[in-house]
Chains A and B, each alone.
Chain A
Amino acid sequence: MEPAEKLLILGESAKYDVSCSSSGTDRAGIKGGIGSAAKAGICHTFTADGRCISLLKVLLTNNCIYDCAYCINRKSNDIKRAAFTPQELADITINFYKRNYIEGLFLSSGVVKNADFTMELMVRAVRILRQDHLFNGYIHIKAIPGASQEVLDEAGLLADRLSINMELPSDSGLKLLAPDKKMADITAPMGHIKEKIIESKADKFSRKSFAPAGQSTQLIVGATGDTDKQIISLSENMYTGMNLKRVYYSSYIHVNNDSRLPVPVNSPLLREHRLYQADWLLRFYKFKADELLDEEHPNFDTRFDPKAAWALRHMEQFPVEINTADYEKLLRVPGIGVRSAQRIIKARRACAIGVDDLKKLGIVMKRARFFITAKGKSAFEGRFSGRVISARLLDAPKQRYEQLSLFKPEAVLLPAPEDTLKSITGEL
């Protein structure tokens, strides 16, 4: 089979993996070699569904000995199979890179024979890139559950980032849908990678750092009955316990007919979107999972983003005076993101800010105005009460979600473009 045909098959099989980030490492070129890594991350193109392509995301092979219910590559599926040789994959990667199509490689694979055998093949491809081509660009390797420490150690020295996918948020989910995998096959390598990263950071003399862009994971949302609260608490644990850089959420996509799988729900993307918003709040806004959701509210409100929903439940903390509130407090105002909060702090050092100045500062007032005062003056006319404000919030943008029922029999709720952008930039 020609490499071009393999690329199509193996790209197609990899595309449901959501993580595409190439950020986190900053590295100049090496002499005689090619490639650098940019801390900010660079999107090279966007697919017709609006997802960023940064890395060449591809499987080494879609052959697999396992039979995970949700996966298109499971062994019981009758699909076209292909496998790259390590050399073929390295050639395509380097040639795409030279043309600036991509920022690097994101390599994952179905399981051939066993975890270590598969990982060895992946490592070989990456070694050709690093050692033969002196390729210094970004590489993300997705480790196979159950991989041994030896092979992880090798992979970690070659890759910028390692990830091992959690896929399902609970043990019971794993048992039901991915019976070949055990939770320990995932958590043990995760823990090992964490230790190696800490070790390598502490060792000032080592020449090669271990997965300098850190470790990440992915969760499939909606394939099992887990609540948002369970998911977001799990994420919090992985951020604090495993030092993960990112948790990615992928709303379950129905590709197989299998009685163990749920019937697709109405708004999977909206749920995924809310989880990403909440994830930002955990990582950059100092929210705790149990502040965002509790037993009474185990799932996110479809109508409000998680921050607005939290604010509406905590009206006693508002309004916030923007000239005196500290940074943390500003960040908790719906509609004021990291950038806006920084801008406010910078600007008010020069002189006190009035309501009119806020727009000039580029602060989006649509939601913020209900929750702030500037020089003691409220930014909206109306009574300051939770009931009034939540009604006004709902009333403001009439067409918040587009109905794209053309493409699917069931209605799909899509976040408005402006809303989508927010989950990319994290300006909540």
Chain B
Amino acid sequence: MQKSYVYDGTFEGYLTVLYDIFKSGDEPASICRTDTGSATLNLFSDERHTAAEEKKYMLMKKAIIEKISAETFENTVHAFLSEMPDIEMHIYRYINTGREKGNDVNKLLADDNVIPVLRAAQRVKHEGHRMLGFVRFADAGGIYYAKINPDANILPVIIPHFRTRFGSQKWIIHDVVRNLAAFYDGGKCAIKPVESLELNGAADDETKYADMWKAYFKAMEIKSRHNSKLQQQLIPKKYRGNITEFR
């Protein structure tokens, strides 16, 4: 009989489940998370899972990278972060195909076992890239704080960029859709679940610079070429609530 699997919502938990599935050799009926909340990726966190899970996770990760390819692992991570319905089963089929075809799986651009994962991974990468530009920090007295509301769980995707960019500048990026925040202290970075964040308030010149930026942004439009439809495609309305110049 086909089994249904349940995991804790983390990427590590998911790979642990995949390990069990491939070990059993049977096609699963379904793979679901226990929580209805969002998945977290603990790559950046200090917390560890139980030894047994940790081991299975590492083995599964190694198997994907060595038996299929690093590209496949990367696609798996990105697709998982998309939080698309049924993504767990899609990734299972994708990896299953990869076991047979090796890295060629990523060339099967017309295969229904592969397309959903590649599309999801693509979407997450795309949103992640966009967000590199759209994140807006405010100086909350020495710590720069930003809120985001992305479709996918992109914090793990964008963190490396902001770490190298801001060097010793401390920041927090808060995903308000998932109640997750990335905390960077100028050296280390961790993603943690948060209910709400209390910050000490804004630095003295915060509004000065925010207002300057807003005024500059408005002045940059060439009025005779107004095209808000194009603008909407490029910077969708759904993000604007957290973007300084649209507030």
A positions within 8 Å CB-CB of B: 3-4, 7-8, 11-12, 15-16, 28-36, 38, 40, 42-54, 56-57, 92, 95-96, 98-101, 103, 137, 253, 269, 343, 346-347, 349-350, 353, 357, 360-362, 404, 407-408, 412, 414, 417, 420-421
Contacts and interface: CB of A to CB of B under 8 A. Distances in A.
A101 B212 CA distance: 11
B89 interface: no
Contacts, number: 159
Contact of A253 (B137, B212, B224): B224
Given A31-B167, A347-B107, A417-B229, A47 B217 contact: yes
15 contacts: A8-B216, A31-B167, A36-B161, A42-B133, A53-B220, A57-B220, A99-B209, A99-B210, A346-B107, A347-B107, A357-B110, A361-B110, A412-B225, A414-B227, A417-B229
A15 B223 CA distance: 11
A414 B109 CA distance: 34
Interface in B222-242: 222-231, 233-235
Contacts of B224: 253, 407-408, 412
B134 interface: yes
Given A350-B104, A417-B229, A44 B165 contact: no
Contacts of B211: 4
A148 B229 CA distance: 45
B137 A99 contact: yes
B226 A46 contact: no
Contacts of B107: 346-347, 349-350
B139 A99 contact: yes
B155 to A, nearest CB: 15
Nearest to A349: B107
B217 A360 contact: no
Interface string B129-165: 1001111111100001010000000000000011011
Given A36-B164, A42-B132, A96-B213, A49 B221 contact: yes
B109 A343 contact: yes
A263 B161 CA distance: 48
Nearest to A344: B109
B215 A4 contact: yes
B109 A4 contact: no
A153 B243 CA distance: 39
Contacts of B134: 44-45
Contact of B219 (A8, A56, A412): A8
A98 B169 contact: yes
A408 B110 CA distance: 47
Nearest to B240: A45
Contacts of A46: 230-231, 234-235
B165 to A, nearest CB: 5
A404 B225 CA distance: 9
B109 A101 contact: no
The list of the 3 closest CB pairs from A to B, nearest first, reads A50-B230, A360-B110, A49-B225
B193 to A, nearest CB: 24
Interface of B: 104, 107-110, 115, 129, 132-139, 144, 146, 161-162, 164-169, 205, 208-213, 215-217, 219-231, 233-235, 243-245
B169 to A, nearest CB: 6
A391 to B, nearest CB: 29
Contacts of A343: 109
Given A99-B213, A350-B104, A417-B233, A33 B167 contact: yes
Nearest to A251: B225
A269 B136 CA distance: 32
User: Chain B at the A interface: mostly helix, strand, loop or mixed?
Assistant: helix
Contact of B209 (A8, A95, A404): A95
Contacts of A52: 234
A29 B161 CA distance: 10
Contacts of A34: 165-169
Nearest to B208: A4
Contacts of A99: 136-139, 144, 209-210, 213, 244
Nearest to A49: B225
Given A50-B225, A50-B234, A98-B169, 6 more contacts: A15-B220, A32-B168, A47-B221, A98-B166, A347-B109, A407-B226
A69 B199 CA distance: 53
A349 B105 CA distance: 12
Contact of B216 (A7, A48, A360): A7
Q: Which of A48, A53, A350 has the most CB of B within 10 A?
A: A48
A218 to B, nearest CB: 15
A101 B167 contact: no
A34 B169 CA distance: 8
Contacts of A408: 224
Contact of A360 (B115, B223, B234): B115
Contacts of B135: 100
Contacts of B222: 15-16, 47, 49, 51, 253
A80 to B, nearest CB: 13
B228 A48 contact: yes
B233 A47 contact: no
Contacts of A56: 216
Contacts of A43: 133, 234
Given A99-B137, A357-B110, A361-B110, A49 B215 contact: no
Nearest to A345: B107
A50 B211 CA distance: 21
B164 A28 contact: yes
A396 B205 CA distance: 55
A29 B139 contact: no
A320 B146 CA distance: 51
A55 B244 CA distance: 16
Contacts of A3: 212
Contacts of B115: 360
